[in-house]
Amino acid sequence: MQNLRMTSESHPRPEDIEVIRNAVDQFNVAVTNDANYSPIAIFLRDERGAVLGGVLGDVWGGWLHITFLWVAESLRHQSYGERLLRAAEEQARAQGGRNAYLETFSFQARPFYERFGYAVFAELPDFPAGHTYYFMRKAL
């Protein structure tokens, strides 16, 4: 038996995180036989190249998972969020995505996503205290 130890690391090395992600991904592909994975990373940049918004996620198993969508405060209410969301959905459809899902807090963007056809399918109340965490989905 090896001399193993557990370590708790608040700032793990990216390559260590990749070991775990890759191992889970390999297991999922082996079980489902679906290796069609594609990251989504669409950015809103100014003339200097600074990031002022973007959407991150991935497509796997016929589903788009949006993990982050953000637009700088000064650019909100100018349709940039909608354009980013639609661009991610378009990329997902081009890669065989049939559905999309995401998570959002009650103090974030639930009404925004509902305007574009997302519906709550589950919620986690009192996370964090006094708020709710919503799980939302949409057919593409």
Question: Would you say residue 11 lies in a domain?
Answer: no
**CATH code for the domain of 82:** 3.40.630.30
Question: Would you say residue 5 lies in a domain?
Answer: no
Question: Would you say residue 120 lies in a domain?
Answer: yes
| Cα–Cα distance measured from residue 108 to residue 111, given in angstroms and rounded to the nearest whole number | 9
Region of 4 please: left (phi>0), alpha (psi -120 to 50) or beta.
beta
Give the domain extent around 120.
37-139
| Cα–Cα distance measured from residue 140 to residue 138, given in angstroms and rounded to the nearest whole number | 6
Q: What is the pTM of this model?
A: 0.90
Return the residue matching tokens 């992600």: 21
Question: Would you say residue 84 lies in a domain?
Answer: yes
pLDDT for position 2: 84
Q: Enumerate the β-bridge partners of residue 41.
A: 56
Q: What's the pLDDT tens digit per position in 87-116?
A: 999 999 999 999 999 999 999 999 999 999
pLDDT at 1 over 90: no
Question: Would you say residue 19 lies in a domain?
Answer: no
